Amino acid sequence: MRRSFPIIVCFAFGIVMLAQFFIPSGFSSNVRSEITDWAQIIYASALIVGIVGLMKYHAIRISRRSDGWFYNLITILSLVFMAFIGFAFGRMDGSPFMWLFNYMMAPMQASVFSLLAFFVASAAYRGFQARNAEAVLLLASTVFIMFGIASVGNSIRPFSDIAVWILNNPSMAARRGIFIGVGLGTIAVSLRVILGVERTYLGKE
Amino acid sequence: MNRLLSAILFLLVLFGRSYSFDLHLADFPNDDGTRIVIKWDSLPPLELANINPETYNHERAVDSPDQFVPVSLVYRSDTTLSAVDERLERGRVYYYRLSYEDSATVWHSNIAGPFSPRENWYNINRTNVLIGILITGIMVGFFILWGKKGKSFYLRPIAGLVALDEAIGRATEMGKPILYSSGRGNMQRPASIASMNIFGSVAEKVASYGTPLIFPNNDPVVTAVAQEVAREGYTKAGHPVQFNPDNIYFVTDSQFGYAAAVDGIMLRERPATNLFFGTFEAESLILAETGNSIGAIQIAGTDSSIQMAFFIVACDYVLIGEELFAASGYLSGDPQVVGTLKGSDYLKIIIIALLVIGAALALFNLTWFVNLFVTG
Amino acid sequence: MDFWDKIRHLDRRVIFILMVLGVGIPLVTRIGLPIRITPDVRRVYDFIEGLNPGEIILVSYDHDTGTLPEMIPMSDAILRHAFSKDLKIVGMALRAEGSGIGRQNIRRIAGEFGKEEGIDFVFLGYRPELTATILGLGSSIGRVFPKDDRGFLIEKLPLMQKVLNYGDIDLVISISDDDTPVYWINYANARFQAKIVPAVTAVMATTFFPFLNSHQAIGMVAGLKGAAEYEKLIGISGSAGRGMDAQSIAHLVVIGFIAVGNLAYFLGRKK
């Protein structure tokens, strides 16, 4: 029952939402609205599961004085502090919560994202070597696109035209092929989930 | 005689035109019964031929044609000769007319109605999608049943999955942990489900070798599922006691917070093998490059074609496109799962055939074939 | 190890330092490189330009704070264009962080034009589960967002009294750093015929070319370059234009790395 009930629920709701796509009636729209409301509620509840799991993980590491336990303590204190600040003083513009959001969280996240520039340069230096014919093609298209789209070459006709041609033709063709493949893979997995063939998400046997 | 003919002609034009303007109603197709289509003949009507107004009022009355209220403006230049009235109530009766009023003239068209909008129970415009789903379902179902009957399907070797054993063995020999990441997707995503399938196989292998496994997560639900999947893997391998749920944990749902955390784990724990399977975004190259810098063997698979390119540059093996989704069938050998793969392979053949036909017809400017695939 | 081998195995830190210089110097010196308008951005501009005063744009902030430097310039440029044409803005977020970003951004730009919240613009806030949210907006926005971000009932807001669902919205712009606009296209456009514009990071741009080609998206604003093009179209000099100098030079630096790397590879192999 523990495994069969979720499979039955998954099948029933999968078929209902599939059927709903073809039925334009008011009843069908109401069913869709009701199910999407519940999906949002369940998703929000999952966040609570995550927070509890996070607290538990870090609390265990603190209690055991594991390596770097001080950082686990900082994590828990930061989480509790931000939540407290948000509930106590609100999160509207000018609040302490938004100050922390604008002047600590945003710059920290942006800094980590900006590391990507360095990693791209390092990967390009190492990875774009003309070892064979395919690598030469990759290299040439990379140079044309980088120069012709995002750099000074954008204003120089031959480069920008070649770059746009590469993006709109071979690149788009390859991307469409991958889209179709991924789409079919998605359909296959989704069908398996709805039909109960795929049960990984249920976890333990 | 000429005068008689002219008079007859004038009368024909006069009465012919005055009866040619007609407002009529139709049910809006494929809707939920809250819309009516109002259609009319060309404007202006004969009575307003000399004024030829720029705009008319489109008016509606409910249940009885006594009190009309304006709904919208109808423009003379509107060549569709129709309007759609929306947000009506099912079961009520509606009347419509066009009207025009200025300081000298008041004109109303005929009253169209009574008319009740009808809700439809099938959207005809989506029949092509239904046919596609039926074909897909039949093909996949056929191969699943065939697989259940014991038919063995051939799957070509996928380099990344073949290398999985080698990668796990390498970590075991070096006495270092294996790092697994399922990226940013939530459990709804097919890529996350595929990742959990792969993780199940990895957990089983890792359990039999006794290799430490670290799995930091970006989504709390995926964390919970991963813990259950790993527990099952360890149990199947006969080492349930070895399973440590603390090694599979939720880090943060923030993208770069997660990337920073995983990078930190890589630099501290120095895993010998990094496995990236799932939905990745901009953090993919950050993770892969850091893994590369510590000398780990890296195998990746994602549904994002963009991030795939970054993984190809920085990882040793990459599952391209739907190879990620094929992995569960490949690793488990489950005939039902492999059956769905074969079904989707044959669907690809059908899609390719349709693409070739569509492209050939498009060369001759015959677009009716493409329009068969448009949905409403 | 000879010279070319050393070049081939150049320390990452040297590469990083050269990148810092390549990005930092143009930011300080301001070169002012020319920017060419691309058709995708032009189509977005033309569509918004063709809207009448009072028509409504839904702007969804579907990104995190990490990509702020790339997303804010395009958001600013689009909002300035919209407010200058007296269009109404309904803001929302499908990411928790996007809620804080969007609210502040819309209010800041609205303040420049003297627009009033509740009448000229509304920020609805964040909702989890993006599929359910996008589908839900097709039936009733009020059902998905009964209150705005400030806590006021949306049925009491003058702007929202005119907006029931996608049928009342003239354009949806998804400002995103991932593939969320694909969901907007798959659900809002395919099922409800909403008009969609993805405003995405440059790295995500190629994902949406097939949708542009098939007219499922009207146009696209991609990355800092897209934002710079939009700023040029609306005639302002903003942060995107300044950032493009650095981005152009950084690209040249990476091209230089690729060239040096290949030179080292071939010359090292010859020996």
ipTM of the complex: 0.84
Residue A32 CB contacts under 8 Å (≥ 6 apart), including other chains: A17, A20, C135, C139
Are B213 and B290 found together in one domain?
Answer: yes
Domain holding B86, by residue range, is: 2-115
Tell me, yes or no, whether B281 and B158 share the same domain: yes
Task: Tell me the nearest-neighbour CA distance from A10 into chain C, angstroms.
Answer: 16
Q: Is residue A203 one of the residues assigned to a domain?
A: yes
CA angle C158, C141, A47 (to 5 degrees): 125
- Report pLDDT digits (tens) over C58-94: 999 999 898 998 999 999 999 999 999 999 999 999 9
| Binding-face residues of A in 148-167 toward C, CB within 8 A | 149-152, 154-155, 160, 167
**C203 chain-B contacts, CB cut-off 8 A:** 282, 306
Q: Are residues B165 and B241 in the same domain?
A: yes
**Looking at the structure, do residues A145 and A202 belong to the same domain, yes or no?**
yes
State the total domains in chain B: 2
Q: Which of A68, A89, A110 is the last residue of a domain?
A: A89
| C 215-254 → A contacts, CB under 8 A | 223, 225, 247-254
Q: For residue B141, what pLDDT is reported?
A: 87
Full residue range of the structural domain in which residue A41 is found: 1-89
Q: How far apart are CA A99 and CA A83, in angstroms?
A: 14
- How many domains does one find in chain A? 2
Measured distance CA(B359)–CA(B365) in Å, rounded: 10
Report the share of chain C in percent with pLDDT over 90.
63
Band of the pLDDT at B246, cuts 50, 70, 90? confident
Are β-strands B248-250 and B297-302 bridged in parallel, bridged antiparallel, or unpaired? Answer: unpaired
Name the pairing type of β-strands B94-101 and B106-108.
antiparallel
Average pLDDT over residues B146-150: 85
State the count of interchain CB pairs (< 8 A) between B and C: 28
Q: Does one domain contain both A78 and A140?
A: no
Q: How does pLDDT run across B118-136, given as a tens digit for each residue?
A: 999 999 999 999 999 899 8
Residue B334: pLDDT band with limits 50, 70, 90: confident
Q: B97-119: per-residue pLDDT in tens?
A: 999 988 888 999 999 989 999 99
Nearest CB neighbour to A106, from listed C68, C223, C249: C68
Residues B211 and B296 in one domain: yes
A 97-126 residues inside an 8 A Cβ radius of C: 98, 101-102, 105-106, 109-110, 112-114, 117-118, 120-122, 124-126
Distance, CA of C143 to CA of C126 (rounded, Å): 14
Task: Please name the residue of chain A whose CA is at the shortest distance from the CA of residue C260.
Answer: A125
B175 and B314 assigned to the same domain: yes
CB contact under 8 A, C66 and B256: yes
Residue B243 domain flag: yes
The H or E element containing residue C263 is helix C239-270
Helix axes C239-270, A133-149, angle to 10 degrees: 160
Residue A51 belongs to some domain of the structure: yes
Structure tokens at C85: 């044409």
Phi/psi-derived region of residue B62, left when phi > 0, alpha when psi is between -120 and 50, beta in every other case = beta
Least confident of A88-92, B144-148, B236-240, C2-6: C2-6
**Residue to test with chain A: of C255, C267, C269, most A Cβ within 10 A:** C255
> Chain C residues contacting B, CB < 8 Å?
12, 64, 66-67, 97, 131, 164, 167, 177-179, 190, 201, 203-204, 206-207
With CA atoms as reference, the chain B residue closest to A184 would be B344
Q: Among candidates C134, C238, C132, which has minimal Cα distance to C194?
A: C134
pLDDT at C41 over 90: yes
In this predicted structure, which of A56-65, B177-186, B287-296, B321-330 has the lowest mean pLDDT? Answer: B321-330
More confident position, B206 or A146: B206
Q: Are A22 and B259 a contacting pair at CB < 8 A?
A: no
**Confidence band for A3, pLDDT divided at 50, 70 and 90:** confident
Residue-level pLDDT at B6: 58
The Cα B207–Cα B172 span in angstroms is: 11
Chain B positions touching A177 (Cβ under 8 A) are 321
B235/B188 same-domain check:
yes
Please tell me whether residues B44 and B186 are part of one structural domain. Answer: no
pLDDT score of B350 more than 90: yes
Residue B340 maps to a domain = no
**Phi, psi at residue A93, to the nearest 5°?**
-55, 135
Domain contains A24:
yes
Asked, for residue B120, whether it belongs to a domain, the answer is no
Q: How far apart are CA C49 and CA C82, in angstroms?
A: 8
- pLDDT number for residue B9: 54
Contact B303 A191 (CB under 8 A): no
Which residue, of A39, A62, A89, is where some domain finishes? Answer: A89
Q: Which tokens belong to B27?
A: 């049910």
Query: Is residue A120 in some structural domain?
Result: no
Least Cα separation, residue B80 to chain A (angstroms) = 24
Q: Do A102 and C129 touch (CB under 8 A)?
A: no
Residues B99 and B195 in one domain: no
Per residue in B221-236, pLDDT (tens digit) is: 898 899 999 999 999 9
Give the tens place of pLDDT for each residue, C186-209.
999 998 999 999 999 998 888 898
In chain A, which residues have their Cβ closer than 8 Å to the Cβ of B337? 192, 197-198
**Rounded-to-integer distance, Cα B290 and Cα B267, Å:** 8
Torsion angle (degrees, nearest 10) of CA C130, C132, C137, C143: -120
Query: C213 or A85: whose pLDDT is higher?
Result: A85
Residue in this structure with the two tokens 């074909």, named with its chain if needed: B135
Of B204, B160, B200, B168, give the one whose Cα is nearest residue B300.
Answer: B160
Which segments within C166-215 are labelled E, that is strand?
A: 171-176, 196-200
Q: What percent of chain B has pLDDT over 70?
A: 94
Alpha-carbon Rg for chain C in angstroms: 22
Asked whether the predicted pLDDT for residue A198 surpasses 80, the reply is: no
Going by their DSSP bridges, the two strands B94-101 and B55-62 should be labelled as: antiparallel
For B38, phi then psi, to 5°, come to -110, 125
Same domain membership, residue B106 and residue B214: no
Choose the closest CB to C66 out of B188, B255, B305: B255
Same domain for B218 and B106: no
Task: Give B-chain residues touching A189 at CB under 8 angstroms.
Answer: 190, 193-194, 325
Residue C195, C-beta contacts closer than 8 angstroms, at least 6 positions apart = C47, C170, C171, C172, C189, C218
Percent of residues in chain A assigned helix, strand, coil, to nearest 5: 85, 0, 15
pLDDT, tens only, C220-230: 999 999 999 99
B356 domain residue, yes or no:
no
Is the residue at A115 inside a domain? no
Q: The CATH number of the domain where B211 resides is what?
A: 3.40.50.1220
C168 pLDDT higher than 90: yes
Query: What band does B1 get if pLDDT is binned at 50, 70 and 90?
Result: low
Q: Does residue B38 or residue C203 have the better pLDDT?
A: B38
The pair phi, psi for residue B180, each rounded to 5°, is: -120, 135
CA distances in angstroms from B359 to A184, B9, B369, C94, C211, listed in the order given: 21, 54, 10, 38, 18
A153 is a domain residue? yes
Q: Tell me what percent of chain C is helix, strand and coil, each rounded to the nearest 5.
A: 60, 15, 25
Residue C198: what are its φ and ψ, rounded to 5°? Answer: -80, 130
3-class SS at C91?
strand
**If you average pLDDT over residues A124-130, what whole number do you get?**
76
- Do B38 and B102 lie in one domain? The reply is yes
Q: Which of A6-15, A46-55, A75-84 has the lowest mean pLDDT?
A: A46-55
* DSSP code at position C256: H
A2 and A82 share one domain: yes
Q: Report the percent of chain A where pLDDT is more than 70.
A: 97
Q: What does the pLDDT read at residue C74?
A: 95
CB contact B116 to A (< 8 Å): no
Assign B2 a pLDDT band (cuts: 50, 70, 90): low
Chains sharing 3 or more CB pairs under 8 A with chain C: A, B
Give tens-digit pLDDT for B5-27: 656 555 555 554 444 578 999 99
Fill in the amino acid letter for C208: F
Which pTM was predicted?
0.84
Let me know the angle formed at the C-alpha of A151 by A148 and A157, rounded to the nearest 5 degrees: 35
pLDDT band at B42 (very low <50, low <70, confident <90, very high): confident
Residue A205 predicted with pLDDT over 80: no
Cα(A9)–Cα(C114) distance, integer angstroms: 52
Q: What is the mean pLDDT of residues B276-289?
A: 90
Q: What is the pLDDT of residue B49?
A: 86
Domain membership of residue B123 (yes or no) is: no
Residue B308 CA to residue A177 CA, distance in Å, equals: 14
Question: Is there a domain that residue B142 lies in?
Answer: no
Higher model confidence: residue C268 or residue A82?
A82
Q: Please report the pLDDT score of residue B167 as a whole number.
A: 93
Mean pLDDT of A196-200: 77
Window 238-297 of B: residues touching A by CB (8 A cutoff) are 246, 249-257, 259-260, 268, 282, 285-286, 288-290, 292
Instruction: Give the bridge partners for B57, in sequence order.
Output: B73, B99
Total count of residues recorded for chain B: 376
pLDDT cut 90: percent of chain B above it: 46
Chain-chain contact of C178 with B375 (C-beta, under 8 angstroms): no
Question: What is the per-residue pLDDT for C219?
Answer: 96
pLDDT at residue B10, as a whole number: 54
Q: What is the pLDDT of residue B38?
A: 94
Which CATH number do you get for residue B51? 2.60.40.10
Q: Is-contact B301 B275, C-beta < 8 A?
A: no
SS3 C175: strand
Residue position matching structure tokens 């999952």: A46
- Closest-CA residue of chain A to B336: A197
Smallest Cβ–Cβ distance between B282 and the set C12, C97, C203 belongs to C203
Query: Chain B residues with CB inside 8 Å of A181's CB?
Result: 321-322, 348
Give the distance from residue B110's alpha carbon to the nearest chain A alpha carbon, in angstroms: 31
Residue C115 has pLDDT above 50, yes or no: yes
Q: Do the domain assignments include residue A202? A: yes
Q: Where are the beta strands (DSSP E) in C97-247?
A: 121-126, 171-176, 196-200, 221-222
pLDDT of residue B16: 47
State the Cα–Cα distance between residues C238 and C240, nearest whole angstrom.
6
pLDDT band at B48 (very low <50, low <70, confident <90, very high): confident
Mean pLDDT of chain B: 88
Show the 3-state SS of chain B: CHHHHHHHHHHHHHHHHHHHCCCEEEECCCCECCCEEEECCCCCCHHHCCCCCCEEEEEEEECCCCCCEEEEEEECCCCCCEEEECCCCCCCCEEEEEEEECCCCEEECCCEEEECCCECCCCHHHHHHHHHHHHHHHHHHHHHHHHHCCCCCCCCCCHHHHHHHHHHHHHHHHCCCEEEEEECCCCCCHHHHHHHHHHHHHHHHHHHHCCCEEEEECCHHHHHHHHHHHHHHHHHCCCHHHCCHHHEEECCCCHHHHHHHHHHHHHHHCCCEEEEEEECCCHHHHHHHHHHHCCCEEEEEECCHHHHHHHHHHCCEEECCCHHHHHHHHHHCCHHHHHHHHHHHHHHHHHHHHHHHHHHHHHCCCCHHHHCCCCC
Which has the higher per-residue pLDDT, A117 or C181?
C181
Token code pair at residue B169: 């063995």
User: Could you tell me if residue B145 is inside a domain?
Assistant: no
The widest CA-to-CA distance across chain C, in whole angstroms, is: 79
Same domain, B103 and B175: no
Q: For position C11, what pLDDT does the model report?
A: 82
Q: Span C29-47, mean pLDDT?
A: 90
- Does residue A140 have a pLDDT over 90? no
| Residue among B52, B58, B125, B63 nearest B88 (CA) | B63
Of A30, C214, A189, the C-alpha closest to B375 is C214
Task: Tell me whether residue A4 is in a domain.
Answer: yes
Average pLDDT for chain A: 85
Q: How many CA atoms lie within 13 A of C137 on its CB side?
A: 32
